[in-house]
Amino acid sequence: MMECCESKAHHHSPNLRTIAIVGNPNVGKSVLFNNLTGRYMTVANYPGTTVQVARGQARIGTVDYEVVDTPGMYSFSSITEEEKVARNILIRENPYLVIHLVDAKNLERMLAFTLQLLEAELPTILVLNMMDETRRAGVQIDIPKLEQELKIPVVGTVSTTGEGMKELLHRIETYGGKEHHYRIPIGGPIEAALNKSEDLLNDSYLVAKRLIGLLALEEDRDVLDLIKQKQPEILFRLEELRDEIASHAVSPVEYEIAMQLKKEADRVAGQVMKTSNGGDGFKEKLSGFMMNPLTGLPILFVVLYFGLYKFVGEFGAGTVVDFIEGSVFERYLNPWFTRVVTSVVPWAVLQSLFVGEYGLITLGVRYAVALILPIVTFFFIVFSIIEDSGYLPRLAMLIDRVFKKIGLSGRAVIPMVLGFGCDTMATMVTRTLPTTRERLISTLLLALAIPCSAQLGVILALLHGRPLATFIWAGVVSMVFLFVGYLAAQIIPGEKPSFYMELPPLRWPKVSNVLIKTYVRVKWYFYEVLPLFLLASVFIWLGQLSGVFDLTVNLLKRPVMLIGMPPEAAKVFLFGFFRRDYGAAGLYDLTKAGLLNGTQIVVACVALTLFLPCIAQFLMNVKERGWKTGVWISFFILFFSFGVAFVLNFALTHLGVVL
């Protein structure tokens, strides 16, 4: 048995045996992954998709393994791109071992997928995680009996404390290959068609033919593509089988299958699970408060105020950035680099590419390292805490109805909240939204009406001590957000969003978990965004050199005066495009120089918040949504932001509001 599987594993991944961790979202996969892998890990896009998959190495006993942390999935019938990736890892990568991680207290619901894995003839170990919460909830599970029922190893763990890890490692080390032969008959016309499809398929697939046949009958694109590669001649026969089912059956194939799996899972769970009462009254209550709009909105406000404004804005973007930028860069690094470059590179033009006012090092790297890195790090600390506590799904639920009006579902709240950290990164995260329509609308709104933390810091400083002005600014920007979202939802065609989300129990965030998540995100962010910053520096350098910059500033002077600003402000807007916050900082200088009055400040703040996204985000829009859409969004925003600023200026001056 051992030999057969060894050779099989060698056959497919010549270097290492692969262990794939699969399971529902939020069952602790990442924690287990980190427990297993330690230092070596990489996060990369799954080929042909935008989904991130983490891989790492683990030495267990004397053997090295490659461990893959797959995105959360509920079953083999996949809905989102993430689930597709997880599924493809299972059916294409021929894992040596699949660890199905479940939340033990919900065993009866998650067992259905274990059964599917067994039916697929994948070598599986079932890990019952969160045993601590399970015990607290008064659920008892007879693990030996479950092993007997399923004929696979079953281990109970608490991955956050390490309980059960030794046992799991031991089970992996001594894994002797699969001995289970699970088959759950579906019955009726579907079973008949399934049997016929199994006869059609040859042996070249890495998982059970039954699973391939099943997915083919479900009309799963990926699996049909796979069959097209291997046996194009049977595609039309499969289509006939599908028609045959459609002519008999009441419900789609995946529904019938889910029903049968559920029956079997209920039976097994009934044999091994016992429940008495338990529960955490306080957390239940708090959860209820978060979901009730009357109490939920104040809670949201408190979270935003302390988390974003105080911690990220004042401490991160203020104190820490001042220190790194002011002392470390301005005093030591920049002068040093300038000296080195001027002595090595003889041409002044080329020198300015590296160390000039907008040089690669003095602007690009400095921005990325001194300004963005600390802000983003602090933001991700807060975000990871919020995420780890289980608050985000409750926020999504709270806001779903409002978001439906602007063509989004509650899920979009995650990129939107991220946008307050960095819009560029948030635009990247819109990938996780299920439909193109939602991705497009959220990209537009992020670019238009969500100010990033760097920008927010400067704007709030500008508006400091002017409560009415702050109120007008926030009001106008929120109105624009809702109004444009509403219009976009009316105009952009496509499937209406639908919302479903699991609400995990509230938990105290774990420090180690928060730190690891922050670290991974900051690193990933840095790799994706640093190149864009460098590119922006090159653009600015070219712009200056060729005179395009001066030309554009002159062009901008008219519209800038139209919204009641002094012509000097034109430069601010152009800079705003290259770095949103930089534009805001320019505004700050203008105010200090006494060039702007209260009304002008509000108008400028509104215009800058709405104005074209920074160039990094522009490039990200293009990268994620394509050239046409990226440019189109930018044009729209260009005119729209000036339009709003014009109307606001007109209204304020004619109403005689003194700010």
Query: Would you tell me which residues interact with another protein (CB under 8 A)?
Result: 74-75, 77, 79, 103, 105-106, 108-109, 112, 137, 139, 246-247, 249-252, 254-255, 258-259, 262-263, 266, 287-288, 291-293, 393, 396-401, 404, 409-410, 495-496, 498-505
State the nearest-atom distance from the C-beta of 459 to another protein, in Å: 30
Q: How far is CA 466 from CA 180, 600, 608, 643, in A?
A: 70, 13, 18, 24
- Is 377 a residue that touches ligand GTP (CB under 6 A)? no
Question: Counting contacts by CB under 6 A, is residue 129 touching ligand GTP?
Answer: yes
- At 281, the amino acid letter reads G
CB of 474 to another protein, least distance (A): 22
Q: How far is the CB of 632 from another protein (least distance, A)?
A: 28
**Contact yes or no for 367/578 (Cβ under 8 A):** no
Judged by CB, which is closer to ligand GTP: 237, or 510? 510
Question: From residue 54 to residue 93, what is the string marking binding to ligand GTP with x (rule CB under 6 A)?
Answer: ------------------x---------------------
CA distance 232 to 236: 8
To which residue do tokens 């900082």 refer?
A: 585
The residue among 109 and 510 lying less far from another protein, judged by its C-beta, is 109
> Hey, what are 291's tokens?
């979901």
SS3 per-residue string spanning 4-35: HHHHHHHHHCCCCEEEEEECCCCCCHHHHHHH
Return the number of the residue (31 or 570) whose C-beta is nearest ligand GTP.
31
**Least separation, in Å, of the C-beta of 398 and another protein?**
6
Residues 6+ positions from 238 with CB-CB distance below 8 Å = 197, 200, 216, 217, 224, 227
With CB under 6 A as the contact rule, which of the stretches 38-46, 126-134, 340-348, 604-612 interacts with ligand GTP?
A: 126-134
Nearer to ligand GTP, 139 or 241 (CB): 139
Nearest Cα to Cα of residue 437 among 491, 397, 500, 504: 491
Cα 615–327–362 angle (5° rounding)?
35
Which ranges of 273-412 does DSSP label H, i.e. alpha helix?
A: 281-291, 293-303, 321, 334-344, 348-355, 366, 373-389, 391-405
Q: Which residue's CB is nearer to another protein, number 221 or number 263?
A: 263
Shortest separation between residue 249's beta carbon and another protein, angstroms: 7
**Would you say 139 and 105 are in contact if contact means Cβ atoms under 8 Å apart?**
yes
Give, as one character, the DSSP assignment of residue 426: H
The CB-of-386 to another protein minimum distance in angstroms stands at: 17
CB within 8 Å of 120: residues ≥ 6 apart: 76, 90, 91, 207, 208, 210, 211
Q: What is the DSSP letter of 158?
A: B
**Closer residue to another protein, CB minimum distance, 104 or 127:** 104
Burial of 438 (0-12, 13-18, 19+ CB in 10 A): buried
Among 19-27, 184-192, 248-256, 376-384, which window interacts with ligand GTP (CB under 6 A)?
A: 19-27
* Residue closer to ligand GTP, measured from CB, 131 or 406: 131
CA torsion through residues 264, 268, 271, 276, sign: negative
Q: Which residues contact 173 (CB under 8 A, 6 or more apart)?
A: 60, 61, 63
The answer to whether the CB of 154 falls within 8 A of the CB of 268 is no
Q: Does 544 bind ligand GTP (CB under 6 A)?
A: no
Smallest gap from residue 288 Cβ to another protein (A): 8
Contacts of 9 (CB under 8 A, 6+ apart): 17, 18, 94, 96
Least CB distance from residue 241 to another protein, whole Å? 15
Q: Considering CB distances under 5 to 8 angstroms, the limit depending on partner class, which of ligand GTP, another protein, none binds residue 72? A: ligand GTP
Residue 291's binding partner among ligand GTP, another protein, none (Cβ under 5 to 8 angstroms by kind) is another protein
Minimum distance between the CB of residue 641 and ligand GTP, rounded to whole angstroms?
Answer: 36
Asked whether position 159 contacts ligand GTP by CB under 6 A, the answer is yes
* Burial class of residue 187 (count of CB atoms within 10 Å of its CB; 0-12, 13-18, 19+): exposed
State which H helix or E strand residue 458 sits in: helix 453-462
Amino acid 126 reads L
In whole angstroms, give the CA distance from residue 160 to residue 134.
14
Residue closer to another protein by CB (options 105, 437) is 105
Among 18, 26, 114, 362, binds ligand GTP (CB under 6 A): 26
What is the total count of residues that contact ligand GTP (CB under 6 A)?
A: 19
Which of 52, 94, 442, 513 lies at the binding interface for ligand GTP (CB under 6 A)? 513
**Nearest-approach distance from CB 510 to ligand GTP, in angstroms:** 5
Binding at 314: pick from another protein, ligand GTP, none (beta carbon under 5-8 Å per type): none
Is residue 160 a contact point for ligand GTP (CB under 6 A)?
A: yes
- The phi, psi pair for 163, rounded to 5°, reads -60, 130
Could you tell which of another protein, ligand GTP, none binds residue 116, using a CB distance below 5 to 8 A set by kind? Answer: none
Q: Is residue 132 a contact point for ligand GTP (CB under 6 A)?
A: yes
Kindly state the smallest distance separating residue 408's Cβ from another protein, in Å.
12
Q: Using an 8 Å Cβ cutoff, are 66 and 16 in contact?
A: yes
Residue number with CB closer to another protein (246 or 302): 246
For ligand GTP, which is the closer residue by CB, 66 or 133? 133
Query: At its nearest, how many Å lie between another protein and the CB of residue 207?
Result: 20
Q: How far is the CB of 106 from another protein (least distance, A)?
A: 5
Secondary structure E strands in 114-198 = 124-129, 139-141, 154-156
Of 416, 397, 406, 411, nearest to 441 by C-alpha is 406
Question: Given the rule CB under 6 A, which of 55-63, 111-119, 153-161, 268-276 is the region that contacts ligand GTP?
Answer: 153-161
Q: Which does 488 bind (CB under 5 to 8 A by kind): ligand GTP, another protein, none?
A: none
495 contact choice in another protein, ligand GTP, none (CB below 5 to 8 Å, kind-dependent):
another protein
Shortest Å distance, C-beta 17 to ligand GTP? 22
Question: Can you give the C-alpha Rg of the chain in angstroms?
Answer: 28
Positions in the binding site for ligand GTP (CB under 6 A): 25-31, 72, 129-130, 132-133, 158-160, 388, 507, 510, 513
